[in-house]
């Protein structure tokens, strides 16, 4: 999330090759050997690994004295051929298999179970990339990261953002920290992260923004709620930049770009053109053009190997809090993106939701569908809305989609809309279907290969 925020700042406030060349000269570079086989390279067809690390380097102990770094936030951004963008968040405490690797001292380490965020601390960014690819069978083409200090500088540079803290009926969380001290945390007051604020809408600057997106204790769903906070912050930050005068104010834009560029680390093979491709997709954030998903996890039960009723397991000789995931759940996320998960029993067909084939449909008169033009064909949404209405659908013209590079048409549907989605898909030959919990009702995004209803 930290790296994604920095990319947002960079890519929506600048334009032109001169500005991108300036950025290219300021970012840090590491060689991870990515994109060497070109199997998923190309404009609009790539996977970006966006990483926010909890490295304390350069902070003077302000955020603690923990050595090394761990992946505090990890997002795999998939830029699909049809113009759709999906961002998958991986909870840091997921209990996964870390692939074998050789450390900097030349010692070989066999594959072993550990927390997801241990990959980068054990074997650096290259092992994190290897872990993601092993989990999803999706090639990582680009790597972008930023640490805590960089996040703080970015947030201060834009003057902070407004976030909403909802009231919570959850009881305070009582626990012992790593030093054995008893602590009490709530969603509005957490001594571990340092966050204090709310309920209600509040303004957070660099320090409090960092605490807001890093808080885990005191949140009813722990790491899952933290990811939701991070996603809220992404939207709030992006909204402030796009609705302010930064993009049109050369002095503000230059200051912001200079700050953001210096906080980023990119792999050697991520070019200016790659950043521009990502920028095009990022601009779809405010209009709902980006799907954000989080890998579902749960605390292990005793039957799954937990040593207590809190879901702790024995790890490296000590009790540790981890989160288990179900391969089928991860498969449901990555299969439509061309990925595969070892151990999954679902046979998901890439690009389609297996729950839709075949099954109950709904009468057109019972279906409400929002029609978007996802192509460059002028007036297509209006034309198809009229045609669907003529066949009995309650269709409305929703205008242009966030991006106009969709090749195939897609039916996205929210919870409880399975039958309605089937009916729309049947009326639009060649369309694919996709379950999306962020969608209300049914949406039809028209691609350039649309023929007729």
Among the listed residues 422, 417, 409, the one whose alpha carbon sits nearest the alpha carbon of residue 438:
417
The pLDDT, as a whole number, for residue 251 is 75
What's the pLDDT at 415?
79
As a whole number of Å, the end-to-end CA separation of the chain is: 40
pLDDT of residue 127: 96
Q: Looking at residue 56, what is its pLDDT?
A: 41
Per-residue pLDDT tens over the stretch 161-181? 899 998 888 889 998 887 889
| CB-based contacts of 328, cutoff 8 Å, min separation 6 | 341, 344, 345, 346
How far apart, in whole angstroms, are the C-alpha atoms of residue 152 and residue 47? Answer: 26
pLDDT at residue 402, as a whole number: 64
CA torsion sign for 412, 281, 379, 81 is negative
Q: Over the stretch 15-48, which tens digit does the pLDDT of each residue have? A: 554 555 666 677 889 999 886 444 444 344 799 9
Q: Strand pairing of 95-98 and 112-115?
A: antiparallel
CA distance 327 to 347: 12
Sheet with 410-413: list strands edge to edge. 394-400, 368-373, 442-446, 410-413, 432-435
Q: Which residues of the chain have pLDDT under 50?
A: 17, 36-44, 56-68, 347-359
pLDDT of 352 reads 38
Among 232, 99, 220, 101, which residue's Cα sits nearest to residue 161? 232
Tokens of 319: 């009790």
Q: Which domains does the chain have, with CATH numbers?
A: 2-337 (3.40.630.190), 354-446 (3.30.70)
Give the DSSP letter of residue 248.
Answer: G
> Would strands 290-294 and 85-89 be described as parallel, antiparallel, or unpaired?
parallel
228: buried, middle or exposed (CB in 10 Å: 19+, 13-18, 0-12)? Answer: middle
């Amino acid at each position: 999330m930290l790296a994604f925020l920095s990319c947002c700042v960079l890519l929506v406030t600048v334009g032109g090759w001169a500005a991108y060349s300036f950025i290219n000269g300021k970012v840090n570079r590491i060689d991870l050997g990515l994109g060497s086989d070109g199997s998923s390279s190309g404009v609009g067809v790539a996977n970006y690994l966006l990483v926010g690390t909890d490295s304390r380097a350069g902070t003077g102990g302000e955020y603690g004295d923990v050595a090394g770094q761990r992946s505090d936030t990890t997002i795999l951004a998939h830029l699909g051929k049809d113009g759709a963008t999906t961002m998958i968040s991986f909870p840091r405490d997921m209990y996964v298999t870390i692939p074998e690797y050789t450390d900097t001292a030349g010692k070989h380490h066999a594959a072993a179970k550990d927390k997801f965020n241990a990959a980068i601390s054990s074997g650096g960014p290259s092992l994190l990339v290897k872990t993601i690819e092993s989990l999803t069978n999706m090639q990582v083409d680009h790597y972008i990261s930023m640490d805590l200090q960089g996040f703080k500088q970015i947030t201060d540079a834009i003057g902070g953002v407004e976030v909403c803290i909802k009231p919570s009926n959850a009881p305070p969380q009582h626990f012992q920290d790593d030093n054995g001290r008893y602590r009490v945390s709530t969603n509005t007051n957490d001594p571990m992260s340092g966050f204090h604020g709310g309920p209600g809408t509040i303004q957070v600057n660099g320090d409090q923004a960092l605490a807001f997106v890093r808080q885990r204790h005191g949140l009813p769903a722990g790491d899952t709620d933290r990811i939701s906070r991070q996603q809220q912050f992404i939207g709030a930050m992006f909204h402030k930049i796009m609705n302010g005068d930064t993009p049109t104010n050369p002095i503000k834009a230059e200051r912001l770009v200079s700050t953001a560029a210096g906080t980023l680390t990119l792999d050697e093979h991520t070019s200016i053109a790659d950043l521009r491709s990502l920028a095009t997709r990022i601009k779809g954030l405010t209009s709902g053009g980006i799907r954000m998903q989080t890998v579902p996890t749960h605390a292990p039960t005793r039957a799954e190997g937990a040593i207590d009723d809190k879901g702790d397991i024995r790890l490296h000789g000590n009790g540790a809090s981890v989160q288990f995931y179900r391969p089928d759940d991860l498969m449901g996320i990555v299969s439509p993106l061309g990925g595969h998960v070892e151990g999954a029993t679902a046979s998901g067909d890439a690009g389609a939701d297996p729950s839709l084939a075949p099954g109950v449909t709904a009468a057109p008169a019972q279906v409400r569908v929002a029609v978007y033009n996802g192509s460059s064909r002028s007036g297509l949404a209006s034309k198809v809305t009229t045609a669907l209405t003529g066949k009995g659908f309650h269709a409305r013209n929703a205008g242009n989609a966030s991006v106009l590079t969709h090749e195939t048409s897609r039916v996205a549907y929210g919870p409880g809309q399975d039958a309605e989605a089937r009916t729309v898909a049947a009326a639009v030959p060649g369309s694919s279907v996709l379950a999306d919990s962020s969608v209300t009702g049914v949406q039809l995004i028209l691609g350039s290969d649309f023929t007729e209803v």
